[in-house]
Amino acid sequence: MLQGHGDDSYRYAQKIIADFSTNVWYGGEPLGLKEYIFEQWSAINRYPEVMAESLSEMVAFHHHLNPEQILINSGTTESIYLIAQAFAGKRTTIVTPAFAEYEDACKLYQHDLIFLPWTKIQELPALSTDLVFICNPNNPTGKSFSQLENWVQQNPETVFVVDEAFIDFTVQINSSISLINHYPNLLIMHSLTKAYAIPGLRLGYIVASEVLISKLKSIKQPWTVNTMALQAGKFIFENYHNIQIPLKNLLREKERFTEKLSQNPVLKIHESTTHFFLAETLKDDASKLKQFLIEKHGLLIRDASNFRDLTKQHFRIAALSPEKNNLLIAALDEWRNY
């Protein structure tokens, strides 16, 4: 899906005062990262590492794994397409609603697709597919699935591709990376762009068994991770314990924000375990609401109607600072009578 993602403010002439459409941490990149990258600027005169090997070693050390269990990529989207290519033509389940790139990548590589609603996975259904894509916590709903290990254990013939792009934004579940050595059918995609606010650099990694990583490496293109992204990754893991987002404060503000929004009679607010959440407009549809907020208030939301299983009324919001959240609360009160 080349169009239809959040953070599309570049498409509008109107100045955007607050962007609620992206679920990237609103506080910006970690203190010191920019200076660190510029100190490494001369490195762009040389080719980057072919497979970002030095960063793989740092990530492996962080997770108490072997470097052969790590594959650094240019963001989770590269990971998705690489996995889809490695399993081309396979029978694949996608848990919905879901990031559209799972479906797009699988269609590109001729997968036979089955769609499984999130509400059904609580039953830990038996799977008849080679692969399953699940985002945990889920995008766009922000819901978390706590029974993942049981589901993986009960379906040993299915490779579970778990997208943990938003694991840093919840306290309800922990990363499944600690399970890697116990389940050879588990493959985890991790993002370094969301919590550290560097989506423009494109950086993420895959954690899996040495067998699965070797399979992915055999088809991966060289030099996909540029030098500046590689340096950013090194900074993150060198300073990991000092640069984490203030998650408890962020989630506390999300709760205040959603409580205020729930008082608006033309809105339906859905529960989530993350700082972002789904909502529905009970008046008109999300595309009209989006235009209203842009044109009248310079505020941007994510029209979520293009997610499979959602409706034209659905939109996604990520909590920002209290001041900006209050702007949206007031604008949505105005929408009610518009």
| Domain at 310, CATH number | 3.90.1150.10
Please give the pLDDT value at position 145. 98
**Boundary-marking domain end, from 242, 259, 292:** 242
Range of the domain at 109: 33-242
Which amino acid, residue 254? K
Same-domain check for residues 283 and 311: yes
Residue (of 81, 101, 96, 177) closest to 143 by Cα position? 96
The reply to whether 221 falls in a domain is yes
Same-domain check for residues 234 and 115: yes
The reply to whether 3 falls in a domain is no
**Boundary-marking domain end, from 242, 263, 295:** 242
**Boundary-marking domain end, from 184, 210, 242:** 242
Ranges assigned E (strand) in the chain = 18-19, 70-73, 91-96, 112-117, 131-135, 159-163, 186-191, 204-207, 267-269, 276-281, 299-300, 302-303, 314-318
Give the list of residues 6+ apart from residue 328 with CB closer than 8 angstroms, or none: 18, 20, 261, 293, 299, 301, 317
| Domain at 80, CATH number | 3.40.640.10
Please give the pLDDT value at position 3. 46
Residue 18 near residue 299 (C-beta atoms within 8 A)? yes
Please give the pLDDT value at position 253. 98
CA distance 298 to 19: 9
Q: Which two tokens stand for residue 202?
A: 């494109």
Q: Please, what is the angle between helix 210-217 and helix 76-86, to 10°?
A: 90
Residue 280 near residue 305 (C-beta atoms within 8 A)? no
Residue 87 near residue 106 (C-beta atoms within 8 A)? no
Please give the pLDDT value at position 310. 97
Please give the pLDDT value at position 10. 67
Give the list of residues 6+ apart from residue 312 with CB closer than 8 angstroms, or none: 285, 286, 287, 305
DSSP three-state, residue 233: helix
CA distance 216 to 57: 17
Residue 89 near residue 268 (C-beta atoms within 8 A)? no
CA distance 19 to 94: 29
Give the list of residues 6+ apart from residue 241 with CB closer than 8 angstroms, or none: none
Same-domain check for residues 302 and 215: no
Q: Which residues does the chain have with pLDDT short of 70?
A: 1-7, 9-10
Same-domain check for residues 121 and 169: yes
Domain count within the chain: 2
Q: Specify the DSSP class assigned to residue 111.
A: -
